[in-house]
Amino acid sequence: MVERDIITHTDVVCPFCGSLCDDLEVDVSDNKVVEVRNACQIGTQIYFSSNPDNPDRYKKPMMRKNGGLVEVSWEEALDRSAELLANAKRPLLYGWSSTEAEAISRGIELAEITGGILDNCSSICHGPSIMAIQDAGIPASTLGEYKNRADLVIFWGCNPVHAHPRHLGRYSNFIRGYFKKDGRNDRYMVVIDPRKTHTAQLADLHIQVNPSEDYELFSALRSILRGVEVEEESISGVPIQQIRDLVEKMKNCNYGVIFFGLGLTHSLAHHRNVENAICLTRELNDYTKFLIQPMRGHYNVAGSNIVFSWNTGYPLAIDFSRGYPRYNPGEYSTVPVLLRDEIDVSIIVATDPVLNLPGPAVENLLKHPVISVEPHETPTSALADIVLPVKISGVECEGTAYRMDNVPIRLRKVKDGPNGLLTDREIMKILIEKVKNLKNQ
């Protein structure tokens, strides 16, 4: 047996969820990941999935011919992609949440020169949170501050044990902070969720709110905080005494934080839920220090909002058809655009709409040519007309990503990608040049 050298990379940043854990150690031998330490199970998987023996990994560009995807040359795949984009009347450029900021920036240029609809995954996750923040502002801080100071931690409509597995251990609960030396024993943990989730099972208090009645519960908390005598015996399925006790806990903590998830953005009041939560947080600051933080899902979905904003002024749902950016979630977001069957071609970068979007929207997406920029086979890439395979950001190339608290973190490269593959940003650069040439002809 031939012994191979193992290179250990330390302080590696996990490119999977919005926690962007930056303490991973990855052992690489002969350009293969052989061990990952400190990551959770899903974070570990992204490193092993990059190995060349993964059968789901694309190694060559593919194009649909006679009904099936066949390998083609880079020239053919890129030329055809550029042709489709240059000739489209209303292309959709969607995704951008699991790639680096540099690629997103180039994607915006591609949207501008093609006059397309530009949108990121937040339009189906925390888009309502962003709209609420635009209305009401947000009293937020960094994960490091919560770790060092929070003594009351509330998880509302989120289940980090499954969605952000190391969040509790690194930032919000079990971790010892500078002013919270005893970690979990120094914090009181509340979970507000209709279900007894695994996170709820770890809490000191689980408040079982009725589904889609969060808005009423926020309003009750705000009313009681203002000294209003509420006559009902329960609100949103929660006994009034439990609501009063929670208000007292909130007022009397030294540093409280509400982490909230899609349980708020996807239930009936959508962005109004989040606006009400922000107003409650702001009013609690008359008594103590209180903050609020969305639990962002994909590792750079916060980055896609930030990079969109610094380039166009808007964080998502942007229409370039008039040559300048216009913003209107609900009109230019991916799902309504697809439901109206407006697009004539799409380029999907680092996401999987076939898996995530409603059926009728997917049906309309697949009526028109789909270009999928993706390292692995996904339901979207399997049904695409062109697949442009890429190196995995944060594993096979560097880049910048924004953690859920909007802190930028540099992703690290731990191994080379398969021979001949380009990065997302290189693909964008080539497409921009080719589309410009075609439009100038």
Binding site for ligand SF4 (CB under 6 A): 14, 16-17, 19-21, 39-40, 42-43, 164-166
CA-nearest of 304, 240, 260, 369 to 103 is 304
CB neighbour list of residue 224: distance below 8 Å, 6 or more residues apart: 230, 243, 244, 247
- The number of angstroms, rounded, from the C-alpha of 277 to the middle of its chain's C-alpha atoms is 20
d(CA 18, CA 76): 36
Q: How far is the CB of 143 from ligand SF4 (least distance, A)?
A: 11
Other beta carbons within 10 Å of 310:
12
**Cα–Cα distance between 316 and 275 in angstroms, integer?**
18
Q: CA-to-CA distance for 333 and 322, rounded, in angstroms? A: 16
Cβ proximity to ligand SF4: between 269 and 302 the closer is 302
Contact predicate 159/198, CB 8 Å: yes
Return phi, psi of residue 408, to 5°: -75, 135
Task: Return phi, psi of residue 132, to 5°.
Answer: -65, -40
Nearest partner of 346 among 356, 338, 357, judged by Cα:
338
* CB nearer ligand SF4, residue 22 or residue 342: 22
Pairing of strands 152-156, 117-120: unpaired
Nearer to ligand SF4, 21 or 354 (CB): 21
Q: How far is the CB of 162 from ligand SF4 (least distance, A)?
A: 10
Which H/E stretch holds residue 234? strand 234-235
Output the CA torsion sign for 49, 33, 406, 200: positive
Which of 202/366 has CB closer to ligand SF4?
Answer: 202
Q: Nearest approach, Cβ of 166 to ligand SF4 (angstroms)? A: 4
For residue 16, the minimal CB distance to ligand SF4 (Å) is 4
Shortest distance, position 175 Cβ to ligand SF4, whole Å = 13
Q: CA torsion sign, 203 to 207 to 213 to 219?
A: negative
**Whole-number minimum distance, CB 201 to ligand SF4, in Å?**
18
Which 8-state DSSP code applies to residue 328?
-
- Compare residues 166 and 412 and give the one whose CB is closer to ligand SF4: 166
Query: What's the closest the beta carbon of residue 313 comes to ligand SF4, in angstroms?
Result: 30
From the CB of 174, what's the least distance to ligand SF4, in Å? 13
Is 126 or 368 the residue whose CB approaches ligand SF4 more closely? Answer: 126
- Name the minimum Å distance from CB 302 to ligand SF4: 13
Find the shortest distance in angstroms from Cβ 19 to ligand SF4: 4
Burial class (CB in 10 A: 0-12, 13-18, 19+), 2: exposed
For the chain, the straight-line distance linking the first and the last C-alpha, in angstroms and rounded, comes to 59
Which single residue is written with the structure tokens 């982490």? 259
* In the complex, least distance from residue 13 CB atom to ligand SF4, rounded to whole angstroms: 8
DSSP reduced 3-state for 202: coil
Of 17 and 370, CB closest to ligand SF4: 17
Q: Are the C-beta atoms of 121 and 351 separated by less than 8 Å?
A: yes
Q: Which is nearer to ligand SF4, 155 or 320 (CB)?
A: 155
Distance CA 124, CA 330 (A): 10
Q: Which residue is nearest to ligand SF4 (CB)?
A: 43
CB 423 within 8 A of CB 42: no
CA-based R_g, the chain, Å: 23
> Which CB, 36 or 432, lies closer to ligand SF4?
36
Shorter beta-carbon distance to ligand SF4: residue 40 or 357: 40
Q: Which is nearer to ligand SF4, 218 or 299 (CB)?
A: 299
| DSSP classification of residue 74 | H
